[in-house]
Chain A
């Protein structure tokens, strides 16, 4: 057994030659980001699982056309997002994002006071509530950037838009989020 993990490129090369375990390793590496991307696009946990699986199957079939030396993740996420869009029926559903359990999210710090923790939790809830009132496309672009921390190229793939327009879409979504939060503050 080799001492270092194989690179994506090495795994792709092996998978192309029919090595199922190499493709399995790629699935393990990217299943979480693929699943979460699909979940943000489709807004349903079961549909997201099916879409992520379809995405990996499509990616496997398309490996022959994958450009050597290119980054796998943006290419894969584009395929998964397409699979998710194809599965999405009718109008976009509301993505049901939730906060992790209070204690869990606050762990790792040097025990702030309960009042500080409560306040932080309240501010998270306010922000998430404001995001949930945005249009689905604004919610998606903000979630991809801040919750999945995708890069511009990856976002372009998932949003199916040119890389050059990602920044402006994010900027417009952020402005609308600020507006919603101002309305909340005034209310």
Chain B
């Protein structure tokens, strides 16, 4: 027997104004037909960089007093001010360096570059090499893979970054804002940090002490750890377990 509250709720249901349903079919089909990696042009990256730098400066000034650090080789996690939420679309930057091949990157960096051997990932779609920090940074970009959904803005499913860990404790920083959880984890027995949810992004200081944003989109969940004198970062995996699977497959 339906009571009067149920009857009222049923009647209310017919009077609820949901936002108009967007037409999704076309955009879904476009996504399905899209090449695996879509790379923003240099123009877009330059625009993104300026905005991101301004944002980084603002955030750092606001948050530095309350900052608590977790140090890894060459990397420091900085916890920013609560309640601030930058737009992820602004967090697009060029600090990746230039596109190259795996073989070239391997020959240029001052550490033993490793590549995930996880079945299904295959070769990275793009390899970037940056001179900074000292010893070089290599970023491997993967488009969409089974289980690694591509980011809508960048077309990138997974990012793996490596740089030398013995370059001083505060060269690279990762700014962590409200709503982010940092969880201790293990990769091959080494201490690791899983930075998940909310907004966070990396930057580094160049030779003049200026902040430079260092990856292309940094609001996705990230696993970071130090192993064999190299600081590693795996970004974009859908879960901690998936990130560890990628991390432990490095060879």
- How many residues does chain A have at the interface if contact means C-beta atoms less than 8 Å apart? 46
Known: A60-B32, A90-B197, A177-B5. A99 touches B24 (CB 8 A): no
A105: interface (CB < 8 Å): yes
Please provide the chain B residues from 11 to 49 with a CB less than 8 Å away from any CB of chain A in the complex: 11-19, 21-25, 27-29, 31-33
> Does A94 interact with chain B (Cβ within 8 Å)?
no
Taking CB atoms, residues of chain A closer than 8 Å to B19 are: 39, 45, 48
Q: Give Cα distance in the complex from A20 to B179, angstroms.
A: 38
Number of A-B contacts defined by CB within 8 Å: 101
Given known A57-B32, A61-B146, contact A100–B21 (CB-CB < 8 A): no
Q: Chain B interface: which of A21-29, A69-77, A151-159?
A: A21-29
Q: CB-nearest residue of chain B relative to A86?
A: B238
Distance A28 CA – B17 CA, assembled complex (angstroms): 20
Chain B: CB-nearest residue to A128: B12
B143 smallest CB distance to A (angstroms)? 13
Chain A residue with the shortest CB-CB distance to B19: A45
Cross-chain contact A58 with B197 (CB below 8 angstroms):
no
Q: Is A163 an interface residue (CB 8 A)?
A: no
Contact of B24 among A49, A123, A128 (CB under 8 A): A49
Q: Tell whether A50 is near chain B: CB-to-CB under 8 Å.
A: yes
Given contacts A97-B16, A98-B16, contact A89 B179 (CB under 8 A): yes
Alpha-carbon distance between A31 and B23 when the two chains are bound, in angstroms: 7
21 A–B contacts from the bound complex (CB under 8 Å): A24-B29, A27-B25, A31-B23, A32-B21, A34-B24, A35-B24, A39-B19, A53-B31, A61-B146, A89-B197, A98-B17, A99-B16, A127-B8, A127-B9, A127-B12, A128-B12, A128-B16, A142-B9, A146-B6, A147-B16, A149-B13
Q: Which positions 186-237 of chain B face chain A at CB distance < 8 Å?
A: 197-199
What's the least CB distance linking B74 to chain A, in Å? 28
